[in-house]
Each structure stands twice: as structure tokens, then as C-alpha cells.
Amino acid sequence: MRIPAFIGALLLAACASKPAPPAWQPNAKDALDGFTDDYLRGNTAAANAEYARARRETTSTGRADLVAQVELVRCGVLAAALEFDDCPGFSALAPDATAQQRAYAAYLAGRWEGLDLGALPEQHRAVVGSGSIAGVVDPLSKLVAAGALFKAGRITPGDIEMAAETASSQGWRRPLLMWLGVAQKRAEAGGDGAAVERIKRRIALASGQK
């Protein structure tokens, strides 16, 4: 699993040039990749360790924008699994973050009123405009977009199903269980007993229950 190009751009900006980039750049990217993969698979302790390593690597530069990128990776991955904590690490850095970073943070938090769409990556700009994740190709970006729609109170039944199937196809246990939980609540509210039981069986299977 690799972090989206938008999130990793600043971290890897110098990697294509000669001489070889300073060690913190590939170290930070490797740590963020590890965090993303471990978190989505449900390996919390390993994910926390990788996140801490990525933050150490970037704080060594003294650049708030680079550390802010790490925090946005964390917040985006959490949003993909419907876990929201108001992104406190980014909030502390927001005054020195870029306009694009602040727009992305607002997008993740569901604060879409007055959002500068031009500052968002194109695929997420389209999500705000259409209210759907259907046009997002990258699996992680699709789940991040679904989380942002959920936070903004604009998620549709079709996108809930799409988010669950995206997580399933990637083997990402944590977001799969969260999105199946949302689907179960919808089925319960609609009085669809057969769907509820079917989703419960799937949750049990994904949870490793016998």
C-alpha cells in the first residue's frame, strides 16, 4: 500500500534529483507507507510506531509543512476507517501549513461550507461537487472520500456499499468492519432483517470469529 501522491508530494520532492536525497525523505515515506498498511489491516501498535517514526523524521527538518503532511496522512487514513479525532496534530501546525493543506484538513473534517475547492486535489474536488465517490479510482482515496462524505453528513447508501466493498477487495479489515457496521445500522433502521443477519455474518467472518 502506498500513500496518495498528493500527500507524499512534499516528502518526496527532492527524491528524483541528484545526488541522493537526505535519509529523512525515504525514511519518512517508508514510515508513512507502513503506518497506512498497518492501520488499515488493524495492526494498531505497529501503526502507531510507524506514525511516530514518520513524525520524528520530518520534525528533524524544522519545517511545519512537512510535519503537517504526516499529520494529514494520519487523519486521512483514520477518516477512511470512520475514525475522527479532529486531527489535533495538524491543528497545532495549521498556522504554518499551506493553503492546500488547510483545505484538505477542512475537507476531511466535513467543513465544506466555503471550502476552497481549487485548493483540493482534483479527485476530492469532484467528490464535493458530485456528492459521490464513484469517480475516485485509487482505493485509499476512495475510502478517504467516503469518510469525508460521512463526516459531512452527505454519504449515500450506494457509497456506503461501495466503501465496504473497496475495503473488502483490499483486505483492509479495520475500515471494512466500520463500513459494515454502518450498513448494519441502516438495515436495522429499515427493518431489513435478512440484510442485518447477512451483514452480521460477514462482520463475524472479518473479525475472525468462528
Q: Is the confidence at residue 5, as pLDDT, over 70?
A: no
Cell numbers 475500515 correspond to: 175
Average of per-residue pLDDT across 133-154: 96
C-alpha cell read off for 53 = 517514526
Average of per-residue pLDDT across 145-172: 97
Question: How far apart (Å, rounded) are the C-alpha atoms in residues 206 and 88?
Answer: 31
Q: What's the one-letter identity of residue 49?
A: A
Residue 22, preceding peptide bond in cis (omega within 30° of 0): no
- Residues 6 or more apart in contact with residue 38 via CB below 8 angstroms: 44, 46, 47, 50
Question: How far apart (Å, rounded) are the C-alpha atoms in residues 56 and 50?
Answer: 10
User: How many CA atoms lie less than 13 Å away from 82 in the CB half-sphere?
Assistant: 21
Note the pTM of the prediction, 2 decimals: 0.88
Residue 12's pLDDT is: 59
Indicate the pLDDT class of residue 124, thresholds 50, 70 and 90: very high
C-alpha cell read off for 150 = 460521512
Q: Is the confidence at residue 13, as pLDDT, over 80?
A: no
Residue 123's pLDDT is: 87
Q: Is the confidence at residue 10, as pLDDT, over 80?
A: no
Q: Is the confidence at residue 1, as pLDDT, over 50?
A: no
User: C-alpha distances in angstroms, 142 versus 8, 85, 136?
Assistant: 17, 20, 5
CB 122 within 8 A of CB 139: no
Q: What's the one-letter identity of residue 45?
A: A
